[in-house]
Amino acid sequence: MCGTLDYLPPEMIEGRAHDEKVDLWCLGVLCYEFLCGKPPFEAEGNTETYRRISKVDLHFPPHVSGGAKDLITKVLVVFLREYVTVVTPSVISQL
């Protein structure tokens, strides 16, 4: 995943300070890709992909469960202060 545009968090795209918590972003992208078959911010070109990531322009297909949407949207947050531990047994059981 390292070096793959689709997995970059907004903090890195925008050159802001970040720490290891941005790895949670990558986990959210990976969950989305497993469920939907494509990255969540995929676009025609790199510039549009960067824009979609920065804006967290996230859309789910109808087959994605409410629990999966909840987990992914909690992980795909922009600001580090918002990163939280979201993987609990109750969240896992809803997927």
Where exactly are the structural domains of the chain? 5-94
Mean pLDDT on 62-68: 95
Name the average pLDDT for the chain. 81
Task: List the CATH code of the domain at 5-94.
Answer: 1.10.510.10
Calpha distance 50→20 (Å, rounded): 20
The pTM for the full model equals 0.76
For the chain, what percent of residues have pLDDT higher than 90? 45
Q: What is the pLDDT of residue 61?
A: 97
**Residue with the larger pLDDT of the pair 22 and 35:** 35
What own/partner pairs with CB < 8 Å and gap ≥ 24 does 17-25 have? 17/80, 18/80, 19/80, 21/80, 21/83, 22/80, 22/83, 24/75, 24/83, 25/75, 25/76, 25/77
Calpha distance 71→73 (Å, rounded): 6
